[in-house]
Amino acid sequence: MMPAAPAATAAYDVVIAGAGLVGLALAPTLARAGLRVALADRAPVVAPPADPATWDARIYAISPGSAAFLRAAGAWQALPCDRVCAIESMRVEGDAGATLAFSAYEMGERALAWIVEERALKAALLPAVHAAGVDVFGGVAFEALAWLPEAATLHFADGRAIAGRLIVGADGAQSWVRNAAGIAAVPRGYGQTAVVANFECELPHHGRATQWFRGDGGVLAWLPLPGRRISIVWSAPDALAAELLALPVAELARRVAAAGGHALGTLVPLTPAGGFPLQFLRVPTSVAQRLALVGDAAHGVHPLAGQGVNLGFGDAQVLAAVLAERGPVADAGAALLLERYARRRAEPVRAMQAVTDGLVRLFGPPAPWMRALRNAGMSAVDRLPRLKRALAQPALR
């Protein structure tokens, strides 16, 4: 059972607004560093129901660096082994026959990433939140944010309020906290929708993920799930995505199998398809007075590299490290600490945004000369192991 939420106005070192994966991981990490932490969300903060017979279509590729952070938070070791699948190799195919292959063995890693369902991650993180003594406020709308020199106060629609030295906006791409702080950020649409679904496959995947850059500018990814199962993310032009989402599940399975050259034989649907629009988001600043943004509230990237949630966990890890190493600075919302956090995250975030956005743009133009150039470049990179390693390291860590 979830502990009863506090009923009165309270003062905290850190108030985290948003109980998605990043907020859930940040809360116990900060609490274990000696900070008094509150976690608030407009939805009830409860563990999703477990259903061993079904698979969540919302999955994440967790990098080795993120896995280490989640282990420190107390969640990674709580994941059931039969719901986690290692990506041991990856094959990327261009739109004109070029290929690029990555191997965990060649990188000196146990896995390039681990595929985990969102509900499994939430179910592992929530007990860690409670065990760390974090106060949880869930199922109530946010009404206002008010700033004073010494603290900021989050007001709820039911009349309650909680004050913190630092407010952390971890409430997603359409962040209410970011808007309440007056940080203007307009997402730029890619004109694509990510179609996600899970399938059982006829042939074993051997822990290999495969990604195809398609001639229409879209990207299709097959990601291994435990057993003979895969999860797909088809970043398709909006018109094609609408067509795919309208198909009966059996017909969608046939389309997905054909798009992947029937590499895993016949596919059988395990979940209905879902879709979400793809957007690029760059904020003018990730910090303000007594405010820090993390996760999708701070940045948005195309899912072709599977790095969205890993960037968010990177934000949480760095913010927790900055606050844990604050020394004589007792105030968790001190401008000095927030500037330190923003400075440490600026380069990794911009670098990943440049890579993912650049690849989408590179494989978008249909011009024959551009098609030949990008595929030649991919083939050249595949022949240079040191360059491949250098490209892979930021994603691994």
**Structure confidence by residue, pLDDT tens digits, 275-325:** 999 999 999 999 999 999 999 999 999 988 778 899 999 999 999 999 999
Whose tokens are 């407010």? That residue is: 167
Q: Is the pLDDT of residue 153 over 60?
A: yes
pLDDT value of residue 51: 87
The per-residue pLDDT of the chain, averaged, comes to 91
Q: Is the pLDDT of residue 396 over 70?
A: no
In Å, what is the CA distance from 149 to each residue of 10, 270, 293, 367?
17, 53, 19, 56
Asked whether 68 and 320 are in contact (CB, 8 A), the reply is no
Distance from C-alpha of 321 to C-alpha of 101, rounded to nearest angstrom? 34
Domain 59-119+190-278: which CATH number of 3.30.1370.110, 3.40.50.1980, 3.40.50.1000, 3.30.9.10? 3.30.9.10
**Main-chain dihedrals φ then ψ at residue 365, nearest 5 degrees:** -60, 135
Query: pLDDT-based confidence at 382, cuts 50/70/90?
Result: low
As a whole number, mean pLDDT of residues 265-273 equals 97
As a whole number, mean pLDDT of residues 81-99 equals 90
Q: Is the pLDDT of residue 340 over 90?
A: yes
Q: Is the pLDDT of residue 263 over 60?
A: yes
As a whole number, mean pLDDT of residues 326-342 equals 95
Distance from C-alpha of 19 to C-alpha of 311, rounded to nearest angstrom? 16
Whose tokens are 């903060």? That residue is: 45
In Å, what is the CA distance from 196 to each residue of 70, 107, 188, 366?
25, 28, 21, 25
Greatest Cα pair distance in the chain: 65
Whose tokens are 């975030």? That residue is: 349
Count of beta carbons in the 10 Å neighbourhood of residue 386: 7
The architecture in CATH of the region 10-50+121-187+280-360 reads 3-Layer(bba) Sandwich (3.50)
Residues 6+ apart with CB under 8 A from 53: none
Please give the single-letter amino acid code of residue 301.
V
In the chain, where are the structural domains located?
Answer: 10-50+121-187+280-360, 59-119+190-278
Q: Is the pLDDT of residue 97 over 80?
A: no
Count of beta carbons in the 10 Å neighbourhood of residue 48: 14
Give the pLDDT confidence of 23-53 residue by residue, as tens digits. Answer: 999 999 999 999 999 999 999 999 888 888 8
As a whole number, mean pLDDT of residues 196-222 equals 95
pLDDT value of residue 2: 38
As a whole number, mean pLDDT of residues 140-161 equals 94
